[in-house]
């Protein structure tokens, strides 16, 4: 393949991109944890500060956040694996 | 301060629908301006290169695609600051506060999710991580390292933005709680 639009490689030395399953798993867990331990509590605290409403920390709210974070971690892992695990077939 | 906010709110209220129009136009631009380039060009080209990391032609194609994507993200990165500008105006004009659950959730997503993602993306695409600039200033090792980092960033942020942007539109339009 030769096409003038492509930038010259010059001294750039391409190397294989390594994406270990273990790293992807950890990232997926971290993303789920970010929902459960950062985003949702921040929402709850903002509501508490502004309105005095504590309903975000009720069982239903906390369990919704927990289920959402688990489902999201699964979805994130699946999506990232799809991009990193390239297999042998052309797209 | 409260009086100033109240008078601003009263004055802006008259222009609520116009501010909303501008906000929605930029929200759409921010959300979807890179989708076709990413899904149909960058992803297949990178997956093809990942299968053949030693193929120099595929590496050149990879570099070209990423450099074009850096430029292609300009619309997204013009739209995001406009959202940050029109969002507070809309808040004042509409009288929205965290009394509304949907609004509180949206504020949290903007501050703790979209802002860090966009700042990282702006750095990688247009500032120190701009691939064309790295190539033209003779930084081959930084080029390769940044290109890998950018691809990691894009892959990791793909599930985040796919869900959170859709959810944010849902919050803003449906106002479910």
CA distances from A24 to A17, A56, B44, B62 (A): 13, 30, 20, 22
How many angstroms separate the CA atoms of B168 and B82, rounded? 16
Q: Do A13 and B140 touch (CB under 8 A)?
A: yes
Per-residue pLDDT of chain B (177 residues; tens, 9 = 90+): 777 777 888 888 889 999 999 999 999 999 999 999 999 999 999 999 999 999 999 999 999 999 999 999 999 999 999 999 999 999 999 989 999 999 999 999 999 999 999 999 999 999 999 999 999 999 999 999 999 999 999 999 999 999 999 999 999 999 999
Q: What is the pLDDT of residues A14-63, one digit of tens each?
A: 999 988 999 999 999 999 999 999 999 999 999 999 999 899 999 999 99
pLDDT in the model for residue A7: 87
Chain A hits for B97, CB-CB cut-off 8 Å, are: 50
Q: Is the pLDDT of residue A3 over 90?
A: no
* Count of Cβ atoms closer than 10 Å to residue A46 Cβ: 20
Name the one residue in this structure whose structure tokens are 């504020």. B107
Nearest-angstrom CA–CA distance, A65 and A78:
20
Whether A80 sits inside 8 A of B156 (CB atoms) is yes
3-class DSSP string for A61-77:
HHHHHHHHHHHHHHHHH
Chain B CB within 8 Å of residue A33 CB: no
Mean pLDDT value across residues A5-12: 86
| Interchain CB contact of A71 with B (< 8 Å) | no
Which residue's structure tokens are 């803003």? B172
Does the pLDDT value for residue A90 go beyond 50? no
Nearest to B157 by CA among B103, B116, B102: B116
């Amino acid at each position: 393949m030769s096409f003038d639009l492509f930038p010259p490689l010059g001294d750039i030395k391409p190397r294989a991109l390594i994406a270990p399953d273990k790293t992807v798993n950890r990232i997926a867990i971290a993303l789920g944890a970010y929902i459960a331990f950062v985003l949702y509590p921040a929402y709850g605290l903002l509501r508490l500060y502004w309105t005095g409403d504590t309903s975000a920390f009720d069982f239903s709210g906390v369990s919704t956040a927990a289920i959402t974070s688990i489902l999201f971690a699964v979805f994130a892992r699946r999506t990232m694996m799809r991009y990193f695990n390239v297999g042998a077939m052309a797209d | 301060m409260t009086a100033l906010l109240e008078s601003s709110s009263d004055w802006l209220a008259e222009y609520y629908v116009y501010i909303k129009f501008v906000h929605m136009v930029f929200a759409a631009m921010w959300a979807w301006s890179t989708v076709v380039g990413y899904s149909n060009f960058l992803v297949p080209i990178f997956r093809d290169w990942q299968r053949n990391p030693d193929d120099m032609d595929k590496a050149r194609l990879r570099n070209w695609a990423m450099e074009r994507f850096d430029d292609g993200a300009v619309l997204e990165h013009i739209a995001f600051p406009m959202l940050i500008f029109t969002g507070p105006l809309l808040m004042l004009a509409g009288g929205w506060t965290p009394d509304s659950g949907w609004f509180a959730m949206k504020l949290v997503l903007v501050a703790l999710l979209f802002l860090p993602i966009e700042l990282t993306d702006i750095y990688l695409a247009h500032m120190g991580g701009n691939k064309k600039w790295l190539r033209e200033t003779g930084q081959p090792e930084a080029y390769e390292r940044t290109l890998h980092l950018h691809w990691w960033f894009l892959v990791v942020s793909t599930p985040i933005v796919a869900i959170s942007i859709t959810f944010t539109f849902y919050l803003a339009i449906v106002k479910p709680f």
